[in-house]
Amino acid sequence: MKYNQLSYFAVSENIAEQELRSLGFNVNSNKSFKLNFKTFLNKILSLHYQDTDYALSMWIADTETDLLSFFQSDKEVTANIFNTVALQVLGFIPNVDFKDTTEFIEKLHFPIIFDSSLGNLHQLLATRCPSGNTLIDRLVTENLIPVTNDYAFFNGKSLATFDTSNVIREVVYVETPVDTDGDGQTDIIKVNIIRPKTTHKIPVIMTASPYQQGVNEPASDALTHKMEGELTVKSASAISLREEKIQTLDSQSQATLVTETEESFTNLPRPSYTLNDYMLARGFANIYVSGIGTLNSDGFMTTGDYQQVEAYKSVIDWLNGRAVAFTSKTRERRIEAIWATGKVVTSGLSYLGTMSNALATTGVDGLDVIIAEAGISSWYDYYRENGLIVSPGGYPGEDLNSLTELTYSRNLLAGDYLRNNATYQKFLEQQGIDIDRVNGDYNQFWHNRNYIKNADKVKATVVFTHGTQDWNVKPINVFNMFNALPNHIDKHLFLHHGAHVYINNWQSIDFRESMNTLLSQKLLGQENNHNLPVVIWQDNRSAQTWKTLETFGSQNYETFDLSSEGHIISNHYNDDSFTKYGKNFNNFKADLFTKKANAITIDIPVEKALLLNGRVKLTLSVKSSTNKGLLSAQLLEQGEKKYLQDIPSIISPKSLDNGRLFEKEHLVELPQREAAYRVITKGHLNLQNRDGLLTIKEVIPDDWMQVTLELQPTIYALEENSTLRLVLYTTDFEHTIRDNSDYELTIDWNKAQLALSVTK
């Protein structure tokens, strides 16, 4: 375990005393630290022991003195004694977890610097235990303070004082201004609400998830596309685009206003998001909405366009009195969100984080914060790349229309299927044409699903999380959105070295406590003056280490000239190899990285330490033996050593409590393991799009072309005397079309460079 404490902010001695006393710690700044320390510990122990002297005697002050004897002596509290006791309070065990306090404190990066102040006790409460919970959260679970359904704060964070065992679970149907199924009336969407029983008006943490009401996997699987085929030879042309506005309808509602909902539920159709659970216990209503085209809602699944976004936006509008919500699908009665403050934060990963990005670009009033975790910022960058059809990592053959089939859950209701499926199939057929699986080009369809062009409309505070090893929603999505935001926007990025994963239950970073601090500030009015760093990045060189930067992307470059004895990359494989790689793309990756696949591999010595920050640029002079070609590249750190893995491992099962014994989850962390290499970044290019997305040029056989391929952005630290391995190849069996044409690419090494974007 290693501490990276971002959520705590130092307070004055007076504030520390006030907050400690408000929690029942009868400390006094006029008393000695030793006496205050004993008072503090006795309060904690009294939650379980009447005889606190006995409990004190079971802890130690140092290797020679138990804690009771220490408090009965005239010895003063030293840094070593404080740290030894603090570790035990947190749950570390002497002689098991540690023997030498000083050594263990250094190993942990223990965040408290002892100075005999009440601030030390204050910060100790905000410090995480080995279970993953902060000490204050653990003590609240142990009834340090009662459940009141009223707010209580500590260090600018809302505490778990709301009863999660007795909440209101209700359903409303929000009217949207879109008519995506063309039936002539506005689409309404089902909204599941979970909120504490309180007299306070409360803010909302909202998750917009098309998966929430269920998915249709058989229909999606049936629409998974075959990856084998020939790369299309496209006609030279320039692509033109326009800005299109969605069509909307005005509400015609004459519904009667009522004060009670008609529908409730016991369990959500799919599991709740644990960050939402965590905030529910702290006075935030949870809202889950699947949106248009989903079970018990109206409309068709338009997948990523602003009609879908507008429908989700309508929920925020309803919370602020600007839209109508009905109590049933009859549309006869409407209800107002009189319990809501109108302040909203969105949450969730992947498609859920995508909708957070999209909603922010509407500039809707009431959306104060988004937490966009591994979200798409342009759907072209999810399903395409540089003029190529490129499948999301791990899902070869998936495309936008197969995702539409997966999330169009209205067909799970037989009655809806009966009435609407014929029209929906025509809609789906047209969508299949619009995505253009022939050319892989950027077009109007994809332009209408590009949120980056509306980044200037964002008003909310933005929090991103993303993994450098996320080849599903690739890092270009967060990189472009982060850098497109206006300069005045409060933005923060947690960039880790994992794959497509959540980080709120990681041991090494207090992400959920940081979100609590931020949301208490922005949505609950806590004047905590806490500011997160702009970029918080996980250092790949050691376990559980995080550092900060001011930018994601640098304009400084370290350039390396490239050379190799090999000049030719063959595209064609024999039938056995082609079949083997097609059946399991991991076989291809294993061979690619060990010089067994068709590729040119170049090892590049890096003499000095470098911090890669941004996009790697590959500049080549290349020619194709035919009138087409695709170029793929991967950059690895090469060399046997311990690397961070991309999937978290469980450290402590079900130890992380999201309330008071509420929705416990595993504490996890990215492990380090010995390996021969680590992928840093990768990229793909259709040679016909070598001058950009909107320009298609001919590939003339055996004519030299100057090509620049920018790889996926990253932040990655290289130590002195590291080795980079650049792998150049054509077909990628995980991502690109599997074209087994017998053509070759030839590289001219006289005009070949690798430029690393670095932070000096």
**Cβ contact 82:70 at 8 Å:** no
Angle at 345 between CA 372 and CA 520, to 5 degrees: 115
Angle at 522 between CA 260 and CA 493, to 5 degrees: 120
> Catalytic one among 290, 347, 350, 520?
350
Phi (first) and psi of residue 575, to 5 degrees: -60, -40
The strand pair at 367-373 and 340-346 is best described as parallel
> Catalytic one among 187, 317, 441, 470?
470
d(CA 760, CA 558): 10
Q: Enter the DSSP assignment of 255.
A: P
Active site residue 277: no
CA–CA distance from 20 to each of 41, 84, 87, 262, 394 (Å)? Answer: 12, 21, 19, 44, 50
Query: Terminal CA-to-CA distance of the chain, rounded, Å?
Result: 30
Strand ranges (E), 34-187: 60-62, 65-66, 153-154, 157-158, 167-175
**Cβ contact 756:612 at 8 Å:** yes
- Give residue for tokens 């952005």: 713
d(CA 466, CA 738): 28
Half-sphere exposure of 175 (CA within 13 A, CB side): 26
Which of 42, 202, 200 lies closest to 121, judged by CA?
A: 42
d(CA 57, CA 71): 10
Active site residue 500: yes
**Cβ contact 191:172 at 8 Å:** yes
d(CA 115, CA 110): 14
Q: Dihedral, CA atoms, 356, 361, 364, 368, nearest 10 degrees?
A: 50
Which of 3, 4, 2, 7 lies closest to 532, judged by CA?
A: 7
The encoded tokens of residue 584 equal: 């399991």
Which of 460, 540, 551 lies closest to 717, judged by CA?
A: 540
d(CA 8, CA 137): 14
**Cβ contact 400:303 at 8 Å:** yes
Angle at 287 between CA 282 and CA 293, to 5 degrees: 165
Q: Which pairs with CB-CB distance under 8 Å and at least 24 residues apart come from 71-77? A: 71/34, 71/38, 76/34, 77/33, 77/34, 77/37, 77/116
Active site residue 492: no
Contacts of 669 (CB under 8 A, 6+ apart): 506, 507, 508, 543, 544, 648, 649, 651
Q: At what angle do helices 414-434 and 400-407 cross, to 10 degrees?
A: 170
- Give residue for tokens 């709740």: 272
Which of 644, 649, 648, 666 lies closest to 657, judged by CA?
A: 666
Q: What share of the chain is helix, strand, coil (3-state, %, to 5)?
A: 25, 25, 45
d(CA 704, CA 620): 10
Q: Enter the DSSP assignment of 264.
A: E
**Cβ contact 122:134 at 8 Å:** no
> Catalytic one among 496, 497, 500, 735?
500
- Give residue for tokens 């991103």: 464
d(CA 86, CA 120): 10
For 642, other C-beta atoms within 10 Å of its C-beta total 14
What distance separates the 2 farthest-apart alpha carbons in the chain?
90
d(CA 470, CA 641): 22
- What are the residue numbers of the active site? 350, 470, 500
